[in-house]
Amino acid sequence: MSSLWSLIRRDLLLAYRRRGEVGNALIFFGLVVLLFPIGIGASETLLAQIAPGLIWIAALLATLMSLDSLFKEDYQDGTLEQWTLSPHSLVAFVWARLISHWLITALPLVAVAPVLALTLNLPADAIGVLLLSLLLGTPVLMFVGAIGVALTTGLQKSSLLLPLLVLPFYIPVLIFGASAVEVSASGWSAAGQLYILAGLFVLGLTLAPFAVASALKVSVSQ
C-alpha cells in the first residue's frame, strides 16, 4: 500500500512540474464546450437541449486525447520492463497510474463541468446529476482506454489505432451518461442510468487493472 501511494505522489509531483502539458485536456474540454454554441448560433432553448450530449462528448474526447501519454514514458525509459521483471506487483503499478491519471486529467474536467453547463443554460436541478454521472463515467472511460493503451504500447502510430479500439466501447458510457443528465433536466428520475454507470464503474474497477497489467506484459515482451 505504501508503494502504491508513493507512485501516486510521484506522478502528481511530475504533473505539477509540467502543468502546461497537463492542462491540455482541460483546455480542449473548455474550448469544445464554449466554441460549439458560437459555431451553430443556437438559442438558449436549443443549448439546454444539447448541453448533456455536448458536455459528455467533450469529456470523452478530452479523456481520449490524454490517454496517449498514460504508459508512453514508462515504456520508453524502461520503467515498464523493470516492473515486469521485478517481484513487485504490476497490478499495483497500474492502479497507481490509473488513479493519478484520473486525478490529473479527469477530475479537473469534472470540476469545471458545472460552470460550463450553466453557460449552456442547463437547468440547475440537473447539475448534480451531471457531476455524479461524470464521476462515475470518466473512470470507466479511463479503464477502457487504459486497456487499449496497454495493447498498443510500443507500436508505431499507436495514437491512430487507439481511437479505433476504444471508441466502440465508449458508446454505452456516452449514451447513459448524457441520458442521465437529459432526463434529469426534463424533471424525471435519472436513477436507472446512474445505476448502469455505477455497475460499469464497479466492473471496470474490478477487472480493468488486471487486464491492463496482462496487456502490458504482452507489449513489453514483444
For the stretch 186-205, pLDDT in tens is 889 999 999 999 999 999 99
> What is the reported pLDDT for 108?
92
User: Among residues 171, 175, 178, which one has the least CA distance to residue 52?
Assistant: 178
Task: Quote the CA–CA distance of 209 and 220 in Å, as a whole number.
Answer: 16
12-41 pLDDT, tens digit per residue, is: 787 777 766 667 888 999 999 988 888 777
* For residue 162, pLDDT beyond 60: yes
Q: Could you tell me if 166 and 194 are in contact, meaning their C-beta atoms sit under 8 angstroms apart?
A: no
52-70 pLDDT, tens digit per residue, is: 999 999 999 999 988 877 8
Domain that holds residue 60: 2-221
Domain count, the chain: 1
Q: What is the mean pLDDT of the chain?
A: 86
- DSSP of 90-150, one letter per residue? HHHHHHHHHHHHIIIIIHHHHHHHHHHHHHTT--GGGHHHHHHHHHHHHHHHHHHHHHHHH
Ramachandran area for residue 15 (φ above 0: left; ψ -120 to 50: alpha; else beta): alpha
Task: Give the mean model confidence (pLDDT) for residues 169-184.
Answer: 95
